[in-house]
Structure 1
Amino acid sequence: MAHVPTAPTGDTGKRVTVNGIDMYYEERGTGAPVLLLHGGIVDHRSWRFQIRELAQHFRVLAPDTRAHGRSTDTGQPLSYELFAADVVAFLRALGIDRTHIVGFSDGGATGLLLGAEQPALVDQLVCISSPYHTSNYREGIIEFLAKITPETLYRTVGPEYRTAMTMAEALHPNRESWLAFWRRVVNGLWTRQPDMPLDRLADVRVPTLVLHAEHEQFYAREHSEEMARTIPDARLEIIAGATHAAPLERPNEVNAAILRFLSERCGSNRSMTTGAARL
């Protein structure tokens, strides 16, 4: 059954039809486009610290992935390939030929596929807390994800990401809808994908910044290091003090790293600086 999102008072976004779904997105700022691809389970609001900062320099587009947030769903199996196809259709629908992409976790996995398969669409890529293959996960994580309940994950992550998940849950019409969605994403998709072979990363021929959290719970630093080594034009930065949810936990540091990276290659934005993150 297709996910039917609610539209609370204060809904300020737009919608566009792509690949049979009604995709919701927020748009802020002007200039070169930056596409923000959020992580699994949550929605575009998990980028709240980044949207306001980046929108001072760029045209920021923050969609809800299919079946997530306020975007609808066709009920077909979820995959990063499907998410990537939705992104391509989304950009075409908006008449955008090329964009920077910043992806967190699931969004970064989608970004890697786009960098490998649609490099003409991607100006620069930032991957935050993003594995490229399920083999990256620490021992026992796949088994953990196959059985985990929302309550268990709420106790595992920090308060910022717990709040983002609670906000996403509130958009579902009832508990049964939320749990069905949870099973599709957490107990399903996350146990099967991403599945990009290491040598496939060599096809990501776009400038790439890999951001790894110092205290990442799900996979080791060595996998981010090998990602940065294998992508032809990539570098690795460590976000000190952060766990998996770095954009929410260390927004100032994440924003500064993104802006430094983008400014190096955007001549008109070389003077960009970042201030304190604000709600």
Structure 2
Amino acid sequence: MSYAEVNGINLYFETHGAGRPLILLHGGLGSGEMFGASLPAFAENHQVILVDLQGHGRTADVDRPLDYTLMADDVAALIDHLGLDRPDVVGFSLGGGVGLHLASRHPGKVGRLVATSAGIRRTAFYPDLLEQQAQVNAAAVEFMKETPMYELYQRVAPRPEDFPRLLDKIGEAMQRDFDFTEEVRGLQVPTLIMGADADMVPPSHFAEIFALLDGGQRDGGWMRDGRPKGGHALAILPGTTHYDIIDSPLFATTALAFLSQEM
């Protein structure tokens, strides 16, 4: 359990296990603790670094927006701070988006990437979900008090009273239009696009992302020479949702299978 001063933020991280370095990036309103169900599998043969992103978990907020690029630069600086040699990265939801930007902006710092449940275009999200996201702000604190996210924040945050501020920032971030098509199209890091079969976006969106990475364009062939040129892959986990995919045994099994492939 440690902190690293990077980019003006006191970034919390903790390390588990030993082996090839693997960074896990959590979802919005969560922390590294979100990976509790899958952590033992990841840490069996890896040095796992759990990171609490800006304003989440044990990392206090700073005076800047919640922005994928800024948080990706934080993780890149942490990689340098720890002297890691191209660690693999597994990100979920918000962390998946941060992972995609990390691989896009700092390709030389990442070995392989697993981006889970991370839509790359705001318009891909279901309309009713976008309506719900519009209600996320400080005024929702009373409702959130009954949720695990609130309990976690109150238990571990350096300033528990900042939860309304986090809701405001998350809500503002979700209202910003975004489209990461070009960032994904240019990825040089072998990437697994993973999603639930009942996610916040339709499965077709994950297939669309895969197509940007040269996936699904041709038969893979007996000799596998038709697979995506960059070593990318796609996985839709059956019987899962956005809210339980990282608790499924299939999550760690699928991610580790991809990470263990030769470069």
Cα pair 2:58 2:157 within 8 Å, conserved:
no
> Is 1:262 matched with 2:259?
yes
Q: Deviations over 1:229-273 (max 9, x none)?
A: 1124322111111110234441x110110111112227xxxxxxx
> Is 1:191 matched with 2:179?
no
AA paired with 2:234? L
Q: Deviations over 1:83-113 (max 9, x none)?
A: 0110111111111131100000000101111
Report the counterpart of residue 211 of structure 1 in structure 2.
194
Q: Do the aligned partners of residues 248 and 153 (structure 1) sit closer, same or farther apart at CA in structure 2, a change above 3 Å counting? A: farther
Report the counterpart of residue 238 of structure 2 in structure 1.
240
Report the counterpart of residue 141 of structure 1 in structure 2.
129
List runs of 5+ in structure 2 lacking aligned partners: 215-229
User: How far apart, CA to CA, are the structure 1 residues paired with 2:134 and 2:22?
Assistant: 33
Taking only aligned residues, the RMSD between alpha carbons, in angstroms, comes to 2.2
Q: Do the aligned partners of residues 51 and 165 (structure 1) sit closer, same or farther apart at CA in structure 2, a change above 3 Å counting? A: farther
Report the counterpart of residue 177 of structure 1 in structure 2.
162
Cα pair 1:50 1:247 within 8 Å, conserved:
no
List runs of 5+ in structure 1 lacking aligned partners: 1-12, 156-161, 267-279
User: How far apart, CA to CA, are the structure 2 residues paired with 1:237 and 1:144?
Assistant: 27
Report the counterpart of residue 270 of structure 1 in structure 2.
none
Partner of 1:107, secondary structure, is helix
Greater Cα offset, 233-242 or 99-108: 233-242
User: How far apart, CA to CA, are the structure 1 residues paired with 2:243 and 2:5?
Assistant: 30
Report the counterpart of residue 116 of structure 1 in structure 2.
104
Partner of 2:130, secondary structure, is helix
How far does residue 176 in structure 1 lie from its aligned partner after superposition? 5.1
Report the counterpart of residue 201 of structure 1 in structure 2.
184
Cα pair 1:36 1:103 within 8 Å, conserved:
yes
AA paired with 1:139? P
Report the counterpart of residue 225 of structure 2 in structure 1.
none
Residues 3-18 of structure 1 aligned to structure 2 (within 5 Å): 13-18=1-6
Greater Cα offset, 226-235 or 144-153: 144-153
**Residue of 199, 203, 206 corresponding to 1:221:** 203
> Is 1:56 matched with 2:56?
no
TM-score, with length taken from structure 1: 0.80
> Is 1:37 matched with 2:19?
no
Cα pair 1:42 1:165 within 8 Å, conserved:
no
AA paired with 2:208? E
